[in-house]
Amino acid sequence: MMYNNKIDFIRILEMIKSVCGYCGVGCGLEFEENKLIGDVVYPTNEGKLCSKGISELISIQTPSRLLRPKVRDDLTQEFKETTWSNAINKIATKIALSPKEKIGFYLSGQLLTEDYYIANKLMKGFIGTNNVDTNSRTCMSSAVVAYKKSIGADYVPVRMNDVHDANLLILVGANTAEAHVVFHNRIKTAKKQGLKIIVIDPRFTDTAKIADLYLPIKAGSDIDFWNLVSNRIIDEGLVDEKFVEENVNNYDLLKNKFKRIPVTKMLKRTGLSPEQFEIFWQMYKENENIITAWTMGINQSSQGVDKNLAIINTHLLTGKIFTKGNGPFSLTGQPNAMGGREVGGLSTMLAVHLGFDKESIKKVNEFWKTSKVSNVVGLTATQMLEANLDVLIICHTDPIYHLPNRNKMEELMKKIPMVVEINAYENSETSPFAHIKLPAAPWGEKEGTQTNLDRTITKQEKLTRISIDCKPDWEIFQLIAQRLGYKEAFNFESPKEIFEEYQEMTKLNPHLNIYEASYDNLSREPFIWGEKIRKNRKFLTKDKKANLFFVENKLLSEKTSLKYPLTLLTGRTRDQWHTGTKTNLPRTLLKYKELNFCEIHPINAKQFGIQDGDSIKISSIRGEIESKAILTEDIRIDTIFMPISNRNINYLTHDLYDKDSMQPDYNHSAVRVEKV
């Protein structure tokens, strides 16, 4: 195998500290003598790294790196190399000629905070539309909306080291053993110290192997389950009356609603027996400090926000929040999804967690010395392709791969007159739909900050010289801004300058105390924002009280049928990052699981004449793909699982969204399987 991009690592006398750029755990690492090891003094990982983190240097050196700007006039042509100035001219000219509401920026949780800041400032502050969103929309937005509704802000009230102070950890719709590997190791350590673990999932995952109790819940019934828990909390007098009286709204309303809930019907919908629920309930009652942690099994749903709220209700009722070892804990998937949200990378919020109210718009206009900030909520990532845009800039992400109902998305993408792809790699699924490709610097070739899943801000350091014609993302957006004439507002010379402007901006919102961090110290001394909020036990709503919400399972997801009798679940596997662009490389030798397989229960396999290892076709009403059958009793009957490392998986999934978060319903598509 020939590699067309040779790493020329910086000659250094000292080791460099940096942070892993793969997942939301955000492990600290050290680079010395051309290899990576875990940083033993870094609080998140204490020296541990998973296979992705250890092999991250290889991701810089893949044969699929995009190294020069490329253009073509239409999708039938081959790309031709061009200069940066020609490519930027084309983009800026198109933006200048397009109505602002016809322009979209589609960003990524893989971007650094400074990249996000510049893109957001350009779009919201100077182009004058809020059509800037991120692929975090497809993984985190349900949690963001729920936290805002219940506790008043997009604020995660738990930290990873809380598991050492908890007595019980409930993992629901979260496979930490594969998606948050080093955090999972911490959970295992806490278990040795006495932590009890309950895993609730339609699959007996690797995470379930360490559980004291495993509940094989039916996909789509989480609201029923958590309502049953809240109902029992109220019925058995476990409500923390004093805490609720002083800190929580809507208790009486919720209590009255729960008087009428159909308990037996709800339990039946979960697929759990009364005995299984009673065992859970005994463990719940007996344990003082409880963390409930979740990820895509809850968020990626047509009722993702309500599922989050149903979980958060249990913590508000019992007062198990804002104290050590307690709280509702949304586990972010990507390394900087949270940093992107802080900066304002979602189209549904302004910068620094501000909204679109008059006062916030005034503050942001004044700060950026502009008058163009709009009060119209922008298009979400999941809406952009359907909005007849004139120009779409996609940065470090792959919407054709990750958006649901791919056949439809491909048709929509083809209609956009100018698609610009800013990426470090050439082989995305979106690439065939792009008109301009700009080579971005990947992890290791750039510096800047990122915020992990528990509000810890760390600095990624540059480990190697930037490749030939690549640029960091902030510089690319700054070039576009300058070409559009905004030279004064976009004259940054380094990520540090950007971070410091952003820090000033965080003063506009008192709960974001990021202005207290020091950029130069961040790789050695990570900064955790928002710790005072936890200590003060005051919520971030206007009246400083949290809100309970009564939510019901409205059964909105696609129903199975005689023709499509199975429910498709999707998820990560341990050693692959999304499509495997960075991890499925010959030299990484990450062979834990294949990229493409389909887990199916032996009873269903028998029903459809399928044997272990057979090539199978999986179809939904939207499309079909092929895979290899793996027969296992670890999955519920009538449910199949496929990993998201299968690049074609979204030919199957439904483009149904949560109406509040606009997050897709990735885990409830009706499918059938047959032998090829």
Q: Interface with ligand SF4 by CB under 6 A: which residues? A: 20, 22-23, 25-27, 45, 49-50, 52-53, 181-182
Q: What is the DSSP string of 507-567?
A: TTSTT-GGGG--GGGTTTS-EETTHHHHHHT--SSTTS-EE---------SPPP-SSS-EE
Closer residue to ligand SF4 in complex, CB, 53/404:
53
Q: Which residue has the tokens 């198990």?
A: 320
Residue of 283, 364, 291 lying closest to 323 (CA atoms): 291
Which residues are CB-neighbours of 313 under 8 A, at least 6 positions away? 150, 226, 230, 254, 548, 549
The CA dihedral of 18, 20, 26, 28, to the nearest 10 degrees, is -40
As measured in angstroms, the least distance from the Cβ of 136 to ligand SF4 is 16
Q: How far is the CB of 41 from ligand SF4 (least distance, A)?
A: 15
Looking only at the bridges linking them, the beta strands covering 436-439 and 70-71 are antiparallel
Supply the DSSP string of 282-351, one letter for each residue: HHHHH-SSEEEEE-HHHHSSTTHHHHHHHHHHHHHHHT-SSSTT-EEEE---STTHHHHHHHT-STTS-G
Structure tokens at 538: 């005051």
**What is the closest distance, in whole angstroms, from the C-beta atom of residue 38 to ligand SF4 in the complex?**
8
Q: How far is the CB of 198 from ligand SF4 (least distance, A)?
A: 22
Sign, Cα dihedral of 210, 216, 219, 223:
negative
Q: At its nearest, how many Å lie between ligand SF4 and the CB of residue 452?
A: 8
CA dihedral 19, 21, 27, 31 (to 10 degrees): -40
Strand partners, 29: 18, 38
Q: Which residue, 182 or 311, is less far from ligand SF4 as judged by CB?
A: 182
Q: Which amino acid is at 251?
A: Y
Task: Identify the CA nearest to 79 among candidates 500, 423, 374.
Answer: 423
- Residue of this chain nearest to ligand SF4 (CB atom): 53
Cα–Cα distance between 501 and 514 in angstroms, integer? 11
Could you tell me the smallest distance in angstroms from the CB atom of residue 421 to ligand SF4? Answer: 24
CA–CA separation, 207 and 220 (whole Å): 20
Complex with ligand SF4: residue 56 or 473, whichever CB lies closer: 56
Shortest distance, position 581 Cβ to ligand SF4, whole Å: 15
- Cβ-contact 299, 663 below 8 angstroms: yes
98, 667, 168, 673: which is closest to 417 by C-alpha? Answer: 98
Instruction: Give the shortest CB-332-to-ligand SF4 separation in angstroms.
Output: 11
Please give the order of strands across the beta sheet that includes 327-330.
213-215, 196-200, 168-172, 290-294, 327-330
Give me the least distance between CB of 59 and ligand SF4, in Å please: 11
Q: Which is nearer to ligand SF4, 230 or 452 (CB)?
A: 452
The nearest distance, CB 22 to ligand SF4, in angstroms, is 3
Minimum separation from the CB atom of position 627 to ligand SF4 (A): 25
**Token representation of residue 130:** 């809020």
The SS3 assignment for 485 reads: coil
Our CB check for ligand SF4 shows the closer of 23 and 381 to be 23
In sequence order, the β-bridge partners of residue 405 are: none
Nearer to ligand SF4, 205 or 547 (CB): 205
Tell me phi and psi for residue 428, to 5 degrees. Answer: -75, 165
Q: For ligand SF4, which is the closer residue by CB, 82 or 113? A: 113
Task: Give the integer Cα–Cα distance in Å for 138 and 264.
Answer: 33
Nearer to ligand SF4, 184 or 462 (CB): 184
- Closer to ligand SF4 by Cβ: residue 52 or 65: 52
140 versus 215: smaller Cβ distance to ligand SF4? 140
Largest CA distance in the chain: 70
Nearer to ligand SF4, 322 or 527 (CB): 527
Q: What share of the chain is helix, strand, coil (3-state, %, to 5)?
A: 35, 20, 45
Least distance in Å: CB of 412 to ligand SF4? Answer: 32
CB of 398 to ligand SF4, least distance (A): 18
- Which residue type does 151 have? I
CB of 36 to ligand SF4, least distance (A): 9
Nearer to ligand SF4 by Cβ, of 27 and 291: the residue is: 27
**Nearest distance, CB of residue 50 and ligand SF4, angstroms:** 3
Token pair in block for residue 14: 């000292």
**Residues of 28-51 as b/e, b for ≥16 C-beta within 10 angstroms?**
bbbbeeeebbbbeebebbbebbbb
Cβ nearer to ligand SF4, comparing 177 with 533: 177
The nearer residue to ligand SF4, 452 or 653, going by C-beta atoms, is: 452
Residue 135 or 513 having the CB closest to ligand SF4 = 135
- 365 CB-near residues (< 8 Å, 6+ apart): 125, 371, 372, 373
CB of 472 to ligand SF4, least distance (A): 20
Contacts of 166 (CB under 8 A, 6+ apart): 190, 195, 289, 290, 291, 325, 326
Q: Which is nearer to ligand SF4, 160 or 223 (CB)?
A: 160
